[in-house]
Structure 1
């Protein structure tokens, strides 16, 4: 297994290891919830890097195993016409593969297959993050900073030592990544589709902690690939055991016929605290004509793409576009020159908040995973997060029958009031900004629901109808 032990493998180099795994990955990967290329045939693979976190030599005849391979694999796919721009780079995925001679019965659901050729011929390959023996090894690596081939393991200087011997259990609710909970004390998010550069789920919580804000769990350890390119691969944070997320609490309030305004006001205050911390630690830029124009053009382009994917949007296009035109005009007039863009959460909604007792925290700073990492790291007006939370109140209200629009309206108002109490600025004072970002979010929701949850499509379409109304 000398190839897997190598520090790196240049992309495109012939790889006996990857060649032997390719037939298995071609059928296994598209069925993963975190695989982003669904609907596009896989045409090939390239090995970006490989490392043996646990040598697989002991998995040969007479060996007990298991071994653990860490791979970064670029997945090449067909480009179906205009759905994917020509020349789009291959998606890179992080795989942690267990290798053994015979798979224990309890790990049968983790089976990937048995390579017929190559260095792993005759062995069993499976999803390593389903094996407690291997997830324990990952935690041990995180407890002891250092390098291992192309991988670097690091710890936060301000965090207490992580105890050993914690048993991991996977969280099945994950969509774009894989999360492991260790002993109800820590949670490790293993990033699956990775891109070069600092990742917001590590970068932003560290910045918020530096600012002295404790609304976000501090990363205690992480690991990354430094060769051949810098990829953030996994982040370990405290697990807020016993906490309840804002989405569940909102639904409980609706079911009981209770208002949610006190909670919404508290969430507005927390959002403002997080924004203040991010602005204090990371660069901000003026929301001038050039940036405002780019933001408006991006929204308009996404609207056009969404209308091609979901024809139900077509009748609303002219009125929806006025929201983005108004944003561009705001920049040209200089009215918005007093505002600044900064790093934001990027995908804020009720499900990204947790309450422990009376204390609220914010989690998951990854942003919208479908968008490129560079875009997710671009400064945005704070109203982007505010719009996401306002849309979340509407989503919650729409789950209840009969629909009570006044419940959502009360939450929206209370949230903005809470935000203003801390920031000194009520988001409703800039209706052009708020309408543009709410519209952009609703358009995103329409495409998502049409593709993944058609039964939910009426929820964002109701917002589209409202946002496109004259006046």
Structure 2
């Protein structure tokens, strides 16, 4: 890596561009551009188009610095077609201007990425410090045009025709990215429940003497439908049939929920067979319960209504702390309906990076598979509530008699039960019930804080879930 020529000349423009980017996670915080390092120049670059990968250090007024990847396409002439992606200009060696654009938006620039991966075939090719790795088996379509997806938040994804999908990691950290490592293992194991990994791009960071993974290339699931959107469509179908129950409408989701439960179970099994399986000791379980209590106390400062649930939540965490040794393994770590895709060949699970807010070192640690199950159960609770709240916002009188609230609960319960029954295929043990209850409660507490800060009108969704938890515990006591 070298100190980038953009360090001084482009730093102000980089700051403005990054601050406005959807993938930047530091919005609202005071920060400045620190060191800008040029990782390398992509093979195939010319005098007319030079594509480089820059790593930009973000120095916050408070908190630890972060590093973001900004691939840039430099042109000697202004490109009107890329005006929306202009980062800034710098002086060229001949004194003229060089126009810098975010390369993810540029088909010509992305073509260089695709061809570099194709050149790697079933091994590795290097360019400067860049290393393009390939998994053997798939022949890339190098004639495919790129299309940038616009809906993502934390990364940038570029489809190459209907053949492959490139995910550019924006926030990068030294170490193995679990999205790459897990996809590689599941691909080589022949898993039917992930998009095949075709390759990845990384660089060795001389500062930390560790690998930084910059991007991954995978199978493009062109027939896929987002699991969250499918669930919302099912709820809307239910609400449109006022006299029918969830199991009576054409859009009943329970069959899909069951198939999704089986897909997750098989994925967990493959992960357990190919990654180390460990044991979390009784002392570690007690520490996990303490961490959940700490999150609860911090959450009450943000959402005071959580104080009404302290007694029940403490009892849930006490039960967790009392468990003995518990097996742990590699898991997804941030699973919900939005991390699933339904294809003609079944359910696929995506985005194995784990919870983005957690440090990479924590995301790489083994965990209980019941964390993933809990995330899906919370997602089944969210879907009908979101449709209800949207309907109410459009027509405040839509649910005057509480019918949608009743039917929302019915939909959630039916699909959660179908998912859980298919996942476990047996009655849960007492330990499993305690683990699942604790992870569900911890997730709901996290959701209250997230909603209070980002979507205040939605905070009632997790609070209502905690109300039900309190009622259920009271009735079973």
Query: Given the two structures, how large is their TM-score scaled by the length of structure 1?
Result: 0.87
> Which residue of 2 is the match for residue 144 of structure 1?
119
Correspondence for 1:276 among 269, 281, 287? 269
Q: Which runs of 5+ in 1 are unaligned?
A: 1-7, 59-64
Alignment of 1:39-438 (within 5 A): 39-53=28-42, 58=47, 65-79=48-62, 84=63, 88=64, 90-115=65-90, 122-145=97-120, 146-157=125-136, 159-228=137-206, 229-257=210-238, 258=249, 259-330=252-323, 334=324, 337=325, 339-357=326-344, 359-401=346-388, 402-403=404-405, 404=407, 405-421=409-425, 426=428, 430-438=432-440
CA-to-aligned-CA distance 1:295-337 (integer Å, 9 cap, x gap)? 223322322333333444344344323322321122xxx2xx3
Task: Please give the alpha-carbon distance, in whole angstroms, between the structure 2 residues aligned to 1:119 and 1:91.
Answer: 34
How many matched pairs? 437
Deviation at 1:362, TM superposition (A): 1.3
> Which residue of 2 is the match for residue 463 of structure 1?
465
CA-to-aligned-CA distance 1:398-425 (integer Å, 9 cap, x gap)? 123323201100111111110122xx56
Task: Please give the alpha-carbon distance, in whole angstroms, between the structure 1 residues aligned to 2:307 and 2:82.
Answer: 48
> Which residue of 1 is the match for residue 450 of structure 2?
448
Deviation at 1:273, TM superposition (A): 0.1
Deviation at 1:221, TM superposition (A): 1.1
Q: How has the CA–CA distance of structure 1 residues 204 and 320 changed in structure 2, closer, same or farther, with 3 Å as cutoff? A: same
CA-to-aligned-CA distance 1:21-72 (integer Å, 9 cap, x gap)? 21112222121121121221113311344322268772xxxxxx22212111
Deviation at 1:360, TM superposition (A): 1.5
Secondary structure at 1:35's aligned position in 2? coil
CA-to-aligned-CA distance 1:330-376 (integer Å, 9 cap, x gap)? 2xxx2xx3x41001011111122222236122111111112111111
Secondary structure at 1:214's aligned position in 2? coil
Secondary structure at 1:220's aligned position in 2? strand
Task: Please give the alpha-carbon distance, in whole angstroms, between the structure 2 residues aligned to 1:431 and 1:358.
Answer: 32
Deviation at 1:468, TM superposition (A): 4.3
Q: Retained in 2: the 8 A contact 1:20–1:118?
A: no
**Structure 1 range deviating more: 115-124 or 187-196:** 115-124
- Stretches (4+) displaced over 4 A: 54-57, 116-121
Task: Please give the alpha-carbon distance, in whole angstroms, between the structure 1 residues aligned to 2:449 and 2:43.
Answer: 42
Task: Please give the alpha-carbon distance, in whole angstroms, between the structure 2 residues aligned to 1:97 and 1:452.
Answer: 31
Task: Please give the alpha-carbon distance, in whole angstroms, between the structure 2 residues aligned to 1:400 and 1:163.
Answer: 40
Deviation at 1:101, TM superposition (A): 3.1
Q: How has the CA–CA distance of structure 1 residues 55 and 221 changed in structure 2, closer, same or farther, with 3 Å as cutoff? A: closer
Q: Retained in 1: the 8 A contact 2:39–2:130?
A: no
Matched, 1:17 2:6: yes
CA-to-aligned-CA distance 1:256-288 (integer Å, 9 cap, x gap)? 223321111111111100000000000011132
Q: How has the CA–CA distance of structure 1 residues 296 and 51 changed in structure 2, closer, same or farther, with 3 Å as cutoff? A: same
CA-to-aligned-CA distance 1:416-457 (integer Å, 9 cap, x gap)? 110122xx5637873221111011111222222223333322
Q: How has the CA–CA distance of structure 1 residues 293 and 241 changed in structure 2, closer, same or farther, with 3 Å as cutoff? A: same
Query: Given the two structures, how large is their TM-score scaled by the length of structure 2?
Result: 0.86
Q: Retained in 1: the 8 A contact 2:254–2:414?
A: yes
Task: Please give the alpha-carbon distance, in whole angstroms, between the structure 2 residues aligned to 1:94 and 1:300.
Answer: 35
CA-to-aligned-CA distance 1:372-411 (integer Å, 9 cap, x gap)? 1111111111000000000111111212332320110011
Secondary structure at 1:371's aligned position in 2? coil
Q: How has the CA–CA distance of structure 1 residues 161 and 56 changed in structure 2, closer, same or farther, with 3 Å as cutoff? A: closer
**Structure 1 range deviating more: 95-104 or 264-273:** 95-104
Deviation at 1:224, TM superposition (A): 0.6
